Amino acid sequence: MLLDYDRLGWLRVALVGFTAAVAAFLLLPVVFIVLLSFGSSRWLAFPPPGWTLKWYQQLLADPTWIDAALTSARIAAMAAILAVVIGLFASFSLVRGEFRGRQVLRGLLLTPMVLPVVVFAIAIYAFFLRIGLAGTTVGFVIAHTILALPFAIIPITAALEGFDKSIEDAAIICGASPLQARLRITLPSIRIGIFSAAIFSFLASWDEVVVAIFMASPTLQTLPVKIWGSLRADLSPVVAAASSLLVGLTLCLMIVTALLRRKLSR
């Protein structure tokens, strides 16, 4: 290979240095937030004059934070389930279907990912206001499902494209009805894709803030909205603690995903 790592010589040092710089650039803000959440300064001074857990105690003692976290989890879970189910049907028709405009449909289903979120947020907010869904859980879930759909469709179509349809034909000739063959053979075979779809669409909703700000009401707030609101009201280290927990949970999900993928693909 042209760029064989073993043959780079002194360039290897430069490469490692560059990679470290990029990693630091990506990670430093997160590290700062986490450090500040343990700092004793009320004013988020850095370096922290001392260390404390009191911001976490405050966070966990405040029912509005707990509420926001539970709301986030509930909406993300529902959005993820809906996105995976819709994504499954959509992927089957995108991969297996032989109709005109298949590529156009695929593009259309992926637009929520490339469309400026704020444009989408304003549009759906205006629409939901008119039909009375603004500020409701249903509205929240629908909006987040649409945003999460591309994250479900991409891994599922990829898995389905990598799955040889002859395997399904083999199940059918073995005596399974087409539906049985899909449920018992095709779905388990693409389970890694389905699992990734579930995780990514959960995360797409879990850390989404723009649409959530529009959809939120005083009684219905997701965690990112609550963080945003607290930041504007008073810049307390509790926000840093909440952010740290948000990052922590995301990290956990990614690690679990990686482990499960490794286990499933064996």
Positions that interact with other proteins (CB under 8 A): 164, 166-167, 169-178, 180-181, 184-185, 188-189, 191, 266
Rg value, the chain, Cα: 23
Rounded-to-integer distance, Cα 192 and Cα 84, Å: 12
Please identify, using beta-carbon distances, which residue of 111 and 177 lies nearer to other proteins: 177
Short-list 149, 81, 157, CA closest to 110: 149
Please identify, using beta-carbon distances, which residue of 97 and 162 lies nearer to other proteins: 162
CB of 158 to other proteins, least distance (A): 16
CB of 169 to other proteins, least distance (A): 6
User: Can you say whether the dihedral through the CA atoms of 91, 94, 98, 101 is positive or negative?
Assistant: positive
CB of 186 to other proteins, least distance (A): 9
Instruction: List the structure tokens of 136.
Output: 């409701």
CB of 192 to other proteins, least distance (A): 10
Please identify, using beta-carbon distances, which residue of 149 and 185 lies nearer to other proteins: 185
How many other CB atoms sit within 10 Å of the CB of residue 31?
Answer: 11
For residues 33 and 27, is the Cβ–Cβ distance under 8 A?
Answer: no
Please identify, using beta-carbon distances, which residue of 12 and 165 lies nearer to other proteins: 165
